[in-house]
Each structure stands twice: as C-alpha cells, then as structure tokens.
A and B are shown apart, each in its own frame.
Chain A
Amino acid sequence: MVIPDYYEFGSRTHIMAGYDALEQIPGLLSSMDAQNPMVITDQGVSRAGLVDILLQALDSRITIKTIQDDVPADSDLITVHTLAGQYRKYGCNAIIALGGGSVMDTAKGVNILVSASSDNLLAFSGANALTHALNPLVAVPTTAGTGSEVTRVAVISDPDNLRKLLFTSGFLMPDAAVLDPRMTLTLPAPVTAATAMDALSHAVEACLCLGRNPLSTAHAHEAIALISQHLLPVILQPDHKPGRLALATGAALAGMAFSNSMVGMVHTLGHSVGSVCHAPHGTCMAVLLPYGMAYNLHKTQPLLADLLLPMAGADVYARTPPADRAQKAIDWVNRMNQRLHQVTAGAHAVCLREMKSQDGKSLVPGHLLPKIAHTALGDGSIFYNPEDLDYDDCLMVLEAAFNGAPLDLSRVKKG
C-alpha cells in the first residue's frame, strides 16, 4: 500500500441504507432534537410520486411543516433565498432534501442562511467560510450518481452576475444520507445509466488523481465493484430493489471517495462541456471516462491495473497478464458504454457527437470544442490530474471523444 506524505479523510454523514431506510428518518431527526422539518424537492420528484412515498414512510411520527417543490434544474440564489424565507415562516428546525444534485445544493444553501440567521449567501461562498455546525439536514437522493448526499460542496448559480458560486465546508455535509431503493425504482434507463456512470467516474478518478489515499481508494474500489456488478442487471430489470440499493450505495461510496481525493481531467472536461453546451453531466462523464483513463495511462498504470479487479472480477483479473490489466480496465469502461448504448436503444451516447437534446438537436456541436478546451483550463479539478493538461491536449481528447475514436497516445505530452 502506497501512502502519500499527507492526506485527510473525513465523511461525517450518518449513512442509512436499506429497503426501509426512509422509515428511519423520524428516529434520525429525533436524535437531533429536530421534529419540524421542511421538505425541499423539485416538481419532477413530486410528479414521480416520491414525496408521497416519503410521507407514507414517515407516517405521522413527525410533522412536516412545509413541502417546497419548486427547485429548478440549476440551483440558484433566488430559490435559496425564497426557501429560506419559507423555512422561517413555517418555524422549521430541519430540512429533508429529496432529490438530485440541484435539490441537495439548494438545501445546503438554505441551511446556511437559516442556521446563520443571514440573508446574504454570498458572505459564505468559497472555502471554509462556515465555522459553526448547521441545522439538521437529512439528504434523500432520488438518483444514484452525484454523491451530493455525502459531499461538503454546494454549487449555486448567481444568475444576475452569470456565475456559479462554490461553497465548501465540512459543515455542508448532510447530517444523514438516507439511501432507499424506492427512491430510484422509477428512474428511466438512460438516466440510470448516466448517473451510475457519473458515480463510476467519481470512483475511478478518486483512485487515480493526486489526492488519492488509502481510505478514499478503499471506498472507491467498493463503489466500483457495486456499480460494475449491478448497473446492467438494473437496466434490464429496473424494479430490482437489491440492485437499486447497490447502485445508490455505490454512488454514496464514490461521493465519499472523491470528496476526499478530488477528481481530475474527466471532470475538468466534463464540467466544461456541461458549462458551454448545457449537456447532461452524467453522460459527459460516461463518454469522457475512458479517455481520461487512457490519457493518464503512462502515469497511473499500476493504479489502473488495480481497477480491473473490482470492475471485471477475480477471474478476468487473474487471466489477464499484469502488463495488460490497465488497458483492459479502459476497455472494460468502453464496453460498458457500448452495452449501455445497446440496452437503452441508443439513448446512452458513447461519443460527444451522439449527445442529442429531446428534439434531436446535437448538444455538443463540433465547432464548440475549442471553446470547451479553453474553458477547461479554468476548472479547479485540473490541478489534481496526474498528468499536466494544456489547451492542445484538452482539444485532442475532446476531438477523440467527439468522434468516439481511440486516443492517439503518441500525441500526449508526457510531463
């Protein structure tokens, strides 16, 4: 085991994962002396009937003061301030965040304001601006991908100034993450695929990037094994509760791993594709993951080789000559993308060129690749990538990922 000179690992969120995990929420809130929660969610979650399932599980053991289901797809300052006002109006003393990444980020923002009795969220942006514990926050993810339920980060848009505000603090980690397969049973196959591949990219980059450490790697390997074993079976049998629970667990483990080791170029480029083209994050991650692995191959060969075991299992690992294991891990991710493409009837894209909006328009036009490459250079995750990235390399990787072509490793500038 290689141990870096210095590292940190912390994940203080109480994990509750199981078939009746929702039913544990009243007990969790009671242990925090918080029995008047506000539910923050979005209309998609509400329409899918998940709020009803939550309320049924809570029974009458706690009093939900208010349910706010107006969180937009991209969390913003206006929504956060509005919901903080509702929290105060209804006399709430805790938040249940029910949804995906945007709902989690919104709930974290609201919790900052109501805990600090403030009306100025900007005062808390940046790293470690919070110095006190926040009010109780229980996160119930309805996708299995972002890992927001266990991370110390919130990203909230400031539409007036056309920017995204980043908040990082250990106090932003939710007090509890409740992982219940009932919350993801109805996710469509393409969303299941994209979110699971997002989680896989968190786990893989946690193992490869410069902040990796023994605890983050252990969490990441467990996540990779769970996602690898259960993703395709769940796509084929969407109501398979053990598989759904495994994917939710894998996403949380991957979230714990990457928030303690950071991520690299897959996210550097993926954030930029999302920012420039408004393309769905999970699919960007899925497409870019094998390219990020290949680009870093010369610096991370033993680490990549280790990934083959949780991805493909002991038999494949043992049969593969040691020198070929790293490449085989990359091939495994490519094959997974191809299989997901097949079983979702083409909805899961395998290259950036294939990413389409609902009306069939290309989401990532080729002429924007230079702009995406330029934007990538300003992404904070670039510092944690094992190999140094410059504009030319970003563009080279994007062009290969755009066409679904193999990366020409001879063109990688090896720093």
Chain B
Amino acid sequence: MTALNHFLCRTKTAFGTHALDHLPFDLSGMNARKPFVITDQAARDAGVHMVLARACRDTYLAPGLATLTDAGDFETLYHLFVDKGYDSIIALGTGQVVQTAKALNLALCLGPERLRSPADPGQIKGPLLPLVYIPTHPESGQDTAGETSFSGHCFVSAHLMPDIAVITADTMLGTPLAAVLDSGLSSLAACCEVFAFSGNPFARSYAYAGVCLVMDTLLPLAQQSDHGDLLCQKAGKHRRLPLAKLTHAAAVSGYIQSNFPNLKTRQAGAHITALHPAPSATLSSGLCMALALVHLLENSKDTCPWLGKLLLPLTDAAHYAGVPGPGQPDAAVRVIRELLQALYETLPQGMPETFDEAGLTPRQISEISNLLTYAHP
C-alpha cells in the first residue's frame, strides 16, 4: 500500500430489476417528498418518465417533471423549482441532464450568482439538496463524478456526486453501438489504470468490480448489435440488462475519476481527441483511452508491481492463478488487445487498434507516450 490512501464515494448504487421501486423509501430517508425530475426529450419520447411515475404511484411522493430542450432552460428550471417548492432533484437521463441537475443544485444551495461568477469553484462545502441519478444509457463516468461545468466554469466537489444512482434495465434507452463502445472502453481504461497503478485498496475494490462488469458485457453487446445499428429498447431485456451493467461500470468509473482526477488514460484520451480530425464515431474518447491504456501497460510491464494482478478481473480466478506470476503482466495486456481485436471484428467500419492506425504521426505518438508514464513505488 502507498503511504496515504484516501477514498470517498458519496453515492449509493442501487442496481437491478425494479430498483426504482425502492426510490420512494430512499427519498423518505433523506426527507425528500417533492422531487423535481429533469429529463430529456429522448427519454420522454420513449416513455421512461412513466416508469418512474409508476414507481412513485401510491406513495407520498409528489414529483414534478421538466424536459430539458436547450441550454436556455436553466433559468426556467431554477424558477420552477423555487416557485413550486420542490425539495430534491432526480436526473432522469444522461450527460446534459445530469450536468444541468448538478448546476441547478449548486444554484439552489449557493445562490445563482455563485454559478455565474464563482469566486472559488473548488471549495464547495455541502451538503447540497438530495440528488438522484437515473441513467438511460451508458456514459463516460462524468455523470457520477463530483464535477460539473456551467457557463465555462468547472465546479469540483464530492458534494456534486449524486446521493443515489439507480441503475436498472427498466430505464435503458436505445443506444448507438458507438456510444456503447465509447462508454465501455472509457470505463475499462479508468478502472484498469487505477487497479494496475494504485496501491489504494479502497479504489482497487471499486476498480475490480468495474473491470469485471465491462468484461462481462461489452463484447456480447457489440456482437449482438445489428451491424452498428441502435441497441434499441425494442430489442427487449436480453440487451437492456447488459446495457444496465455497462452503465453500472460507467458509474463506478465516475466514482473512481472523482478520486483520481489526473488519470493518465483520460489525459491522453483528451489529448488524442483534440489532435485527431476523425469523427468521434470512429475515434471516440473511450477508444483513445483504451489505446492509451494498452500503451501505458506496455510501458510499465516491468516496473508496476500490481499490473500482473489485473489479469484477475480481466479473466477469472482460475485463469489468473494458472499463469505464472512473471507472465501475468503480458497476459493482462494480451487480454485487452484481444478484446479490442474482437470488438474491431464486430464493427463494419472497423476501428483503429494502435496509435499508428488511428492516424497519429510519430511525433504525436511520442508526445502521447511521454504522457503515459508513471513513477512507480
């Protein structure tokens, strides 16, 4: 273990069938009786808000619903919340819905002027209003991380993490395969990096579960997709449950990113995305992070003490224990390469497996490589 380990995850994860049925009980435990539900048009069109409404029916809850259509909605949401006397926020959706919910929570608790010109955005002392996150598809982990952006300002605080993440197949929406890959690979990279390079047992426990969830679901989901078409809700439970598991992995990666804001794979992913002109469908942030992960692991095979153990969540106990210790780092990297290769074969348009194939120049690869080094204990 390293000299000082700290870890904080404020979010309770509720996962599984009928997880929404437990929400009224959880909200009552936070003295929340009148939640304000923010959702987006896609969720509303698919009727996901009705799943939530059914869970709240015959309870004491009196939720209100607002649909986010554009950025100009923020002031409307703020006044609606205040005027109607809501006491908590439910973000029913992903991405912009959640970022708006977090910003609204800040505005409600610290005053709207604090959002417009935050003097000290890094010093948010809680608690804020209860915030429940109900995702509708897998994302990059930012939804559950303790951060949000508003008007060009970035706010970072553990208090911005949702109080509860309710992850259930019942709310999973149709998701393009590219988005599924982006989420799965970015979760895999974040969790693998922390598991392999951190001696923090608390973070490693979350990372272990995150890696397992991705390895269980990502490739089967990709193989089930119809040539990159939408994994839509019409497909039924056999696709929505693995989508929920992948969303669970994304939530875990968000918890981890809150505690490790300077992940190398994330930095490199952002760098590559900025450098590369290709459309995000073929070179997404998640894919960049996965390529960076392979590079990072290759660079550290001989020096990182925990890398070999990464083989355990990537495979299983029997496989891990069957590989002699010195061979485990190579085997771990091989598993990730094989996963990328198998994903590649499911995509009609293909996807790059190396920085070369991604179109980076040797100079750019060198720059990225410099980012991808760790000082090992």
Contact indicator per residue, chain A 213-237, by CB within 8 Å of chain B (1) or not (0):
1110111011000100000000000
**A214:B4 contact, CB within 8 angstroms:** no
CB B269 to nearest CB in A, in angstroms, measures 25
Contact indicator per residue, chain B 188-206, by CB within 8 Å of chain A (1) or not (0):
0000000000000110111
Q: Which of B3, B201, B202 contacts A19 (CB 8 A)?
A: B3
A345 CA / B9 CA spacing, docked (Å) = 42
**A214:B201 contact, CB within 8 angstroms:** no
Chain B: CB-nearest residue to A14: B8
A183 CA / B4 CA spacing, docked (Å) = 15
Contact indicator per residue, chain B 1-18, by CB within 8 Å of chain A (1) or not (0):
111111111111111111
Chain A: CB-nearest residue to B168: A6
Query: Which of A92-100, A192-200, A245-253 is the contact stretch?
Result: A245-253
Chain A residue contacts of B18, Cβ below 8 A: 5-6
CB A123 to nearest CB in B, in angstroms, measures 15
Q: Which of A4, A17, A24, A314 contacts B325 (CB 8 A)?
A: A314
Q: Which of B8, B15, B19 contacts A3 (CB 8 A)?
A: B15
Q: Check A317/B205 contact, CB under 8 A, given A10-B13, A12-B12, A132-B31.
A: no
Chain A residue contacts of B6, Cβ below 8 A: 14-17, 24
* B279: interface (CB < 8 Å): no
Query: Which of B43-51, B71-79, B226-234, B314-322 is the contact stretch?
Result: B314-322
* A370: interface (CB < 8 Å): no
Interface of chain A residues 1 through 51 with chain B (CB within 8 A): 1, 3-21, 24, 31-33
A13 CA / B7 CA spacing, docked (Å) = 8
Chain B: CB-nearest residue to A176: B8
A139 CA / B222 CA spacing, docked (Å) = 46
Chain B: CB-nearest residue to A8: B14
* A242: interface (CB < 8 Å): yes
**A6:B16 contact, CB within 8 angstroms:** yes
Interface of chain A residues 265 through 282 with chain B (CB within 8 A): none
CB A142 to nearest CB in B, in angstroms, measures 19
**B14:A253 contact, CB within 8 angstroms:** no
A78 CA / B3 CA spacing, docked (Å) = 40
**A253:B12 contact, CB within 8 angstroms:** no
* B245: interface (CB < 8 Å): yes
CB A210 to nearest CB in B, in angstroms, measures 14
* B263: interface (CB < 8 Å): no
Chain A residue contacts of B204, Cβ below 8 A: 222
A253 CA / B208 CA spacing, docked (Å) = 14
**A15:B202 contact, CB within 8 angstroms:** yes
* A380: interface (CB < 8 Å): no
Chain B: CB-nearest residue to A16: B6
CB B223 to nearest CB in A, in angstroms, measures 18
CB B368 to nearest CB in A, in angstroms, measures 31
**B125:A33 contact, CB within 8 angstroms:** yes
Chain B: CB-nearest residue to A180: B4
Chain A: CB-nearest residue to B7: A15
A24 CA / B28 CA spacing, docked (Å) = 34
**A318:B322 contact, CB within 8 angstroms:** yes
Q: Check A10/B12 contact, CB under 8 A, given A131-B30, A222-B201, A309-B317.
A: yes
* B212: interface (CB < 8 Å): yes
A40 CA / B28 CA spacing, docked (Å) = 31
Candidate in B29, B216, B320 with the most chain A CB atoms within 10 angstroms: B29
Chain A: CB-nearest residue to B207: A218
A217 CA / B164 CA spacing, docked (Å) = 20
Chain B: CB-nearest residue to A213: B15
**A253:B209 contact, CB within 8 angstroms:** no
How many residues of chain A are within 8 Å of chain B by beta carbon?
A: 55
* A368: interface (CB < 8 Å): no
CB B75 to nearest CB in A, in angstroms, measures 29
Chain B residue contacts of A4, Cβ below 8 A: 16
Contact indicator per residue, chain B 151-184, by CB within 8 Å of chain A (1) or not (0):
0000000100000100000000000000000000
Chain A: CB-nearest residue to B17: A5
A302 CA / B77 CA spacing, docked (Å) = 51
Chain A residue contacts of B158, Cβ below 8 A: 14
**A1:B3 contact, CB within 8 angstroms:** no
**B5:A249 contact, CB within 8 angstroms:** yes
Contact indicator per residue, chain B 304-328, by CB within 8 Å of chain A (1) or not (0):
0000000010000110111001000
Chain B residue contacts of A15, Cβ below 8 A: 5-8, 202
**A314:B320 contact, CB within 8 angstroms:** yes
* B333: interface (CB < 8 Å): no
Q: Check A218/B208 contact, CB under 8 A, given A21-B4, A32-B125.
A: yes
* B213: interface (CB < 8 Å): yes
Q: Which of A1, A16, A215, A221 contacts B4 (CB 8 A)?
A: A16
Chain B residue contacts of A31, Cβ below 8 A: 125
Chain A: CB-nearest residue to B13: A9
Chain A residue contacts of B245, Cβ below 8 A: 3
**B212:A1 contact, CB within 8 angstroms:** yes
* B127: interface (CB < 8 Å): yes
* A170: interface (CB < 8 Å): yes
* A327: interface (CB < 8 Å): no
Interface of chain A residues 119 through 158 with chain B (CB within 8 A): 128, 130-133
**A169:B29 contact, CB within 8 angstroms:** yes
Candidate in B17, B125, B209 with the most chain A CB atoms within 10 angstroms: B209
**B17:A306 contact, CB within 8 angstroms:** no
Chain A: CB-nearest residue to B19: A6
**B321:A314 contact, CB within 8 angstroms:** yes
Chain B: CB-nearest residue to A21: B4
Chain B: CB-nearest residue to A12: B10
Chain B: CB-nearest residue to A249: B201
Chain B residue contacts of A131, Cβ below 8 A: 28-31
Chain B residue contacts of A91, Cβ below 8 A: none
A214 CA / B206 CA spacing, docked (Å) = 9
Chain B: CB-nearest residue to A215: B209
* A322: interface (CB < 8 Å): yes
Q: Check A18/B12 contact, CB under 8 A, given A128-B29, A253-B205, A318-B322.
A: no
**B318:A322 contact, CB within 8 angstroms:** yes
7 residue pairs from A and B, CB less than 8 Å apart: A3-B245, A5-B16, A8-B22, A15-B6, A17-B202, A19-B4, A315-B321
Other than the known A131-B30, A253-B201, what 15 A-B pairs have Cβ atoms closer than 8 Å? A4-B16, A6-B19, A7-B16, A9-B15, A12-B8, A15-B5, A31-B125, A33-B125, A213-B15, A215-B13, A222-B205, A249-B201, A253-B202, A306-B317, A314-B325
5 tightest CB-CB pairs across the interface, nearest first?
A10-B12, A18-B4, A6-B16, A131-B31, A318-B321
Residues of A within 8 A of B (CB): 1, 3-21, 24, 31-33, 128, 130-133, 169-170, 213-215, 217-219, 221-222, 226, 242, 245-246, 249-250, 252-253, 256, 306, 309, 314-315, 317-318, 322
